[in-house]
Structure 1
Amino acid sequence: MIRDYFRVLIVDLATGKGNVVNVEGRNEFVGGSGLGALLFSLYGYTQRPWDDPDQPLIFSIGALTGLFPLMSKTVCSFKSPYHDQFAESHAGGRSALALRFADYDAIVMKGRAPRLSCVSIGMNHLEVKDVQFLAGKDVFATGKILRSMFSGSGHRSILRIGPAGENLSGMACINADSYRHFGRLGSGSVMGSKNLKGIVIQGDGSFALPDNNEYPKVFNEVYKKMTDTDMMSKYHNLGTAANLDVLNELKSLPWRNLQASNDEGIGGISGEKFADDTLLRNAACAGCPVGCIHLGFVREKFMEQNQYLYRQVAYDYEPIFSTGSMLGVTDAFHVLAIMDEIEKAGLDVMSGGVALAWATEAFEKGLITEKETIVPLVFGDAEGYKKAVYYLGQAENEFYSALTKGTLVAAKKYGGEDFACVLGQEMAGYATGETFYVAESLGFRHSHLDSGGYSWDQKNDKKDVKAICDFLIKDETGRAFITSMVACLFGRGVYNDEQLSACLKSVGYDEIAENMDTIGERVRALRWKVRFDTGYDPDAISIPKRYHEVTTWKGKTDPKFLAELKQEYGNRIRDLVSKDALTKLGLDKIKKN
């Protein structure tokens, strides 16, 4: 269980065979984000396109997966169809524990299956099964059929794609165990390009826990912090949906394609409204005692049979923003209904919602018509959006096909680039100010969780470029380490440096515990190195003019300050991959297999 190397399963989809390799570097890269970047360096091709069959699709876990609570996520690393550059996406669910109990630190999918297939992986088995009959099936139907085809329970994880992934959409996600997702930058299309409809990971092995007095002591300390204090209560109670009221009050919640940053209609989609009217139950990722997954319900009536069907839909802040306020939809059940359609299609909910918000404004301005959209798009019209989601997932016509490649691709073709709400990819729901706009635009994952930029904006109104860049760079180091563990970022308040060090030492990873800062710097630099090698250029990323028009609690955006901050942060990122910096961290020694 405790080893100084990574045990990696390499799967060749073309032949249906695999082999296990031992990859050195546990003490240098830990796992998760670090391991994903290392494996892409060894098995990926920076100059080949994202859909080249030899490009790897990588799933990796961390050193403490299965040993401590909230060490429950898996990192998916790949070359993205969205920008054809190195990317990663994170998901909870059961995949991390399933991989741990299958005794793998990572799996690497290479090649392309001859026909649409599903891979089943366990500790002692590998099977590639033809599932051509699942072509075009939505995520829910696919999951139901795969559960019946592949026996197992407990530590079994089922990853699958919907029509969006098969259609190679840049917005396609990988659904993980129904309620979690590898959401951003098109991981689902990488599966689709490999003729891979599903991956079933059977955690059918076992391992002994550390046999010492320190491990149970440290485990109990962590567990009590998560269950006996209020450190995690926000995530269990209202969940991140509580942020809607807060951000609306701060004039930082995007409404109707960010034409406004607050609105009186918030009451219909607040965290309290969802909890009072729609919440069925809480659920949790495997190995997590918190239960942050909030499951609401939608009800559908079949007129001919006079019957009703109820479905559970997972919600939190980002899905509510992107299918609620961003689309001007202010009824909680209508928001869940749009989410449900997005889930079926296998689309990333943030990219899908933001893309349709841009399309709605473009429709209002006459840049596109029903010839393109097929159905009229009107802010607040949930029924219209449900139909549009279907067309987006299917890439139904030339317009929707362009939109699947990214909102800016469609905007360049049809007009409306100025009001495309894209910060590297379709924005997350934080119209908090210049720091966030720059941090998400230039950040490695174009994610609000790359750094605490949104948090800085909510606490600071000084226009200090140096201080902001110092904060972003330092913050990213710590996040790179914790996503290499791989810990849920909701638990970063519990897993401070002192606690992480104690956890690592209690199970025998003393060298990692003593070098966390250096490892964080090394992982961050390697990820950026691979990203630059695949074409990243901070100067090529623009921030649309819509963000110049936003007014928050701090006032209206300052375009001059925004430009200066973007330039300086881009320079800081470049410094991370200078020859001297890479040599200092030993990254010049990585050799391709």
Structure 2
Amino acid sequence: MTLRRWGMPIEGTASRVLHVDLESGASRVLLFEGRPHHLGGSGLAAALYDAYGLPESPAFDPRQPLIFAIGPLSGFFPLMSKVVCGFRSPYTGEWAESHAGGRLALSLRFAGYDALMITGRARTLSCLVVGSRRLEIHDVHYLRGQDVFTSGKYLRRYGKESSGHRSTVRIGPAGERGVTFACANVDSFRHFGRLGAGAVMGGKNLKALVVTGDSGIELPEGRDYPKLYKEVYQSVTGTDMMQKYHDLGTAENLLVLNELKALPWRNLQATTDPAIDGISGERFAEQLLLRQTACAGCPVGCIHIGLLRQQFARDHEFLYKQVSYDYEPIFAQGSMLGLTNASDVLALLDETEKLGLDCMSAGVALAWVAEAFEKGVVTEKETLGPVHFGNVATFVAALHHLANGTSEFWQALGKGVLYAADIYGGADFACVLGQEMAGYATGEVYFVSQALGFRHSHLDSGGYAYDQSAKDKDVDKAVRHLLDDEYKRLTINCMVACLFARKAYPPERLQEALASLGMRAEADALPESGRAMQALRWSLKFRTGFRPENVRIPKRFTEVVTWKGPMDVDYMDAVRQAYTSELYRMVVDAAREA
């Protein structure tokens, strides 16, 4: 296939895509032309949806593709360890992405594929196993309702001969039920977390995906590649560039943001609290850090694993669980819920993992429930039990209600906080910016950037950093920052690198890396193609229903007070309007050029 909609046809290079139809069991390998244009990762996923997706059909239409894409540098350079999952979101109804690490990127590379595209719905709950020379669809109906970790134990039977190069993606009960912010767990400690990838798998009757990296890749000849590899490796291991992520990890941000009055507490009713010491990154490191690990292909080791002693097995001294943590999970299931004990946060995160819920959306959703319960907006008639800030036991019970949809209230909440608030009340204090917020109450630009950003994510652009560094309220400057920073991050997401490594991979370094692999057309086209893929992604989002003027920024965000003082609502509205205009301009200009 040749891309024509977004420019002149580009021949001679192709991405190797495995397409599997779960309904028929048929598969085929597509040679998807145009890599210098779509590049890979985010661009490849968008180009595949542009070619094979159904913009006029709903998210749960079985014909909609679920796409896992890596980039041209995956497996060849350090920290090229991420996979882009592209899908029609059941949460927003729009084209969406979620990114995850683990072993999946290298497993796909060693299986010989640049992307895996899955369509159709399996006739029974199934596990898809793929490798370079195998494709199997196994009936796993006996795993229905099983949690993520129990399922993982059964799934280890598949691909044993490639266990070191094998990756497993699976969902829990929340994904099977179609909770719109259900996640897909990747290799125990990583996730396709946001916007409902787990629900999409559940809609396809796909309990799990196992990718066996059972082949190999050839390294380029000559001196350029090993020389550049050594330089990149040295920059991320021999300097302090990645020290923060290895040492305390992003949990280091808790004390900093609390001091800045930018850390959400108790459903964003406050932005600082003296009880922060109980859940700080330092407290986790001193008392609960068990070990650190890394995604395949990464020498940094930023994944922090906490030790959780089994609360129900006090007479078994050595019985414990391993729970990963970093800043966002601690915010969402710690400060946002008024929890000030690190062990309580790990206990709640462990339950969230088992159920297969996105920890950020689930935590923010429960924070809204706690405030709604506190104010009498909802009662035990709806919640089936008390839900109180600071009480971990009530939140554990609430999580199970949420994942299992045990009442009409919890079923509504499983479609998002604003969906439930529109039915029961409490929309003014719903902490939703396109989806349940990330943990940065830094100010006006960040609130607009997440509400209107492509993934409704703090990782779309550095809006949170802009709030902290900007010394004026220049609307044009703020919007230009959001668009340019999104473009820079997108080029990395087309490769697909961990965003922690963006200092190690500026655009010119990415071009050099591509050239060292013999991909000179991709290297030369990178700046122009990055802009084209930015426009393509936004075009798909608009074509699947996105209208920035309809996105709500609830009243709670206008009431926030940070180290800079109260929110300037006029400034926030001006940034929103200017950003909206630029998004429309980008899509219209791209359509005109096509």
Which category of TM-score, normalised to the shorter sequence, fits these structures?
A: over 0.9
Q: Is the 8 A contact 1:436 1:453 kept in 2?
A: yes
Equivalence map 1:345-384=2 (5 Å): 345-384=355-394
Per the alignment, residue 79 of structure 2 pairs with: 70
TM-score between both structures, scaled by the size of structure 1 = 0.97
- Structure 2 counterpart of 1:25: 34
Local SS of the residue matching 1:502: helix
Q: Which residue of 1 aligns with 2:16?
A: 7
Following TM superposition, by how much is the alpha carbon of 1:512 offset from its aligned partner in structure 2, in angstroms?
Answer: 2.0
After the TM superposition, which residues 445-524 of structure 1 pair with which residues of structure 2 at under 5 Å, given as runs? 445-524=455-534
Tell me which residue corresponds to 2:138: 129
Matched, 1:417 2:427: yes
Q: Hey, what does 1:533 align to over in structure 2?
A: 543
**Alpha carbons of 1:303 and 1:177: their partners in 2 closer, same or farther (altered >3 Å)?**
closer
Counterparts of 2:51 and 2:412, CA distance in 1: 33
Aligned match for 2:54, one of 45, 61, 78: 45
User: C-alpha displacement at 1:477, in angstroms?
Assistant: 1.1
How far apart, in 2, do the equivalents of 1:107 and 1:13 lie?
Answer: 13
Q: Does residue 124 of structure 2 align to residue 115 of structure 1?
A: yes
Within the alignment, does 1:204 sit opposite 2:214 as a pair? yes
Distance 1:308 1:237 in 2: 26
Shift of 1:292: 0.4
Q: 2:36·2:526 contact (CA, 8 Å) conserved in 1?
A: no
Q: State which of 105, 109, 113 in structure 2 corresponds to 1:96.
A: 105
Per mean C-alpha deviation after superposition, the further-off stretch among 365-374 and 420-429 is 365-374
Question: Aligned partner of 2:254: which letter?
Answer: L
The 2-side partners of 1:460 and 1:252 are apart by: 15
2:343 corresponds, among 327, 330, 333, to: 333
> Is residue 2:443 matched to residue 1:433?
yes
Map 1:245-394; keep pairs closer than 5 Å.
245-302=255-312, 309-394=319-404
- 3-state SS of paired residue (2:298): coil
Whichever residue aligns with residue 45 of structure 2, its letter is: G
Deviations 1:286-345 (A, max 9, x none): 000000000002111445986763110000000000000000001001000000000001
Any conservation in 2 of the 1:227–1:289 contact (CA below 8 Å)? yes
CA distance in 1, matches of 2:57, 2:299: 42
1:561 to 567, 571, 591: 571
Aligned counterpart, 2:7: none
* Matched residue SS, 1:154: helix
DSSP 3-state at the match of 2:502: helix
2:407 — aligned with what? 397
Distance across 2 between alignment mates of 1:155 and 1:64: 18
Unmatched 5+ residue regions in structure 2?
A: 1-11
> How far apart, CA to CA, are the structure 2 residues paired with 1:244 and 1:23?
44
Q: What CA deviation, in whole Å up to 9, does each residue of 1:436-488 have, x standing for no partner?
A: 00000000000000001000001114211111011111111111111011010
Task: Please tell me whether the aligned partners of residues 478 and 517 of structure 1 are also in contact (alpha carbons under 8 angstroms).
Answer: no
| 2:25 partner amino acid | G
> In structure 2, what is the Cα distance between the partners aligned to 1:5 and 1:115?
34
1:552 matched to 2:562? The reply is: yes
Instruction: Rate the CA distance shift 1:552–1:461 in 2: closer, same or farther, 3 A.
Output: farther
1:173 paired with 2:183, answer yes
Q: What corresponds to 1:86 in structure 2?
A: 95
**For the residues of structure 2 that align with 1:49 and 1:305, how far apart are their CA atoms?**
51
Amino acid aligned to 1:450: D
Alignment-mate amino acid for residue 453 of structure 1? G
Match of 1:591 in 2: none
Aligned amino acid, residue 571 of structure 1: S
Q: Give the AA of the match of 1:160.
A: R
RMSD: 1.2
- Counterpart Cα distance in 1 of 2:71 and 2:223: 23
- 1:503 and 1:238 mapped to 2: Cα distance? 30
Counterpart check, 1:213 vs 2:258: no
Number of aligned residues: 582
In 2: Cα distance, 1:213 partner to 1:183 partner: 40
Q: Where in structure 2 are the equivalents of 1:567-582 lying within 5 Å?
A: 567-578=577-588, 580-582=589-591
Deviations 1:462-518 (Å, cap 9, x if unpaired)?
Answer: 211111011111111111111011010000011112222221111112222223221
User: CA offset at residue 87 of structure 1?
Assistant: 0.4
Specify the code of the residue in structure 2 equivalent to 1:397: S
Contact 1:72 1:96 in 2 (8 A): yes
Please state how far the C-alpha of 1:42 moved relative to its aligned partner: 1.1
SS of alignment partner, residue 310 of structure 2:
strand
On the 8 A contact 2:182/2:193 being kept in 1, the answer is yes
Counterpart of 1:410, as a letter, is A
- CA distance in 1 between counterparts of 2:27 and 2:119 reads 10
State the AA in 2 paired with 1:90: H
- CA shift in 2, pair 1:421/1:150, >3 Å: same
Superposed CA offset, 1:123-164 (max 9, x none):
011000000000000000011110134423111000000000
Report what 1:190 is aligned to.
Answer: 200
Q: 1:236, 1:148 → 2: CA distance?
A: 33
Deviation at residue 269 of structure 1 after TM alignment: 0.6
In structure 1, C-alpha distance between the alignment counterparts of 2:580 and 2:318, rounded to whole Å: 53
Displacement, 1:165?
0.2
Q: Secondary structure at the match of 1:291?
A: coil
The worse-fitting range, judged by mean Cα deviation, of 281-290 and 492-501 is: 492-501
